[in-house]
Amino acid sequence: MSRTGKKPVTVPSGVTAAIEGGQLSVKGPKGTLSLPLADEVTYSIEDGSIAVKPANDSKRARAFWGMQRTLIANLITGVTEGYTKKLLITGVGYRANAQGKTLKLQLGYSHDVDFAVPEGIEIKTPDNTTVEISGIDKQKVGQVAAEIRRWRKPEPYKGKGIKYAGEFIFRKEGKKK
């Protein structure tokens, strides 16, 4: 039994949810998101909440149960509050600057890295070593953060690179004479 799947997802006021054509669409103050629904799970919208139950007792249906409930909860959180990831840049001469729909990164390469910001994502640089990525789709925000981080992953000797805020970088000791 899925402990997560048992709990219904509450739909706050100002948010509307509708199931039509195998898709759940959620509309809120920040925008609209939709999710393709799995056939292994049954969905019901009743008195301000969305309930998810497995359609049958197969292993696949039970596996999808908790995941689908979490995806629905992510949609509702996205259209009400949104999601934000913060990246910190460490290293001499490493900088970031948001210019319209591009993020200009100077990461020690012979050229600047121009990262095109995808639709539905907003990138801010409060200072030249901090990048804030925000949007309503949790998967898209995380993917953009991972793609930016991929340009210079933090290295264990000096800690230089791009890391998530709150991420611990395991440091190694250098060579000894």
For the chain, the structural domain boundaries read 3-80, 83-164
**pLDDT tens digits, residue range 32-83?**
999 999 888 999 998 889 999 999 989 999 889 999 999 999 999 999 999 9
At residue 177 the predicted structure's pLDDT band, cuts being 50, 70 and 90, is confident
If one compares 84 and 47, the residue with the highest pLDDT of the two is 84
As assigned by CATH, the class of the 83-164 domain is alpha beta
* Global pTM exceeds 0.85: yes
Instruction: Report whether pLDDT(2) > 80.
Output: no
* Torsion from C-alpha of 90, 112, 142, 59, nearest 10 degrees: -110
d(CA 78, CA 69): 14
pLDDT on residue 47: 86
- Predicted confidence at residue 176, as pLDDT, reads 86
Regarding predicted confidence, which is higher, 2 or 63? 63
Confidence (pLDDT) at 149:
96
- Interval 95-126: pLDDT, tens: 999 998 999 999 999 999 999 999 999 999 99
CATH class of the structural domain 3-80: alpha beta
DSSP letter for each residue of 140-175? HHHHHHHHHHTTSPPPTTT--EEEETTPPPPP----
What pLDDT was estimated at residue 1? 60
Using the predicted structure, report yes or no on whether residue 31 has a pLDDT greater than 80: yes
**Amino acid symbol at 133:** I
Say if 3-80 and 83-164 have the same CATH topology. yes
DSSP code of 100? T
Confidence of residue 148 (pLDDT cuts 50, 70, 90): very high
Q: Are 115 and 148 in contact (CB under 8 A)?
A: yes
Residue % of the chain over a pLDDT of 70: 99
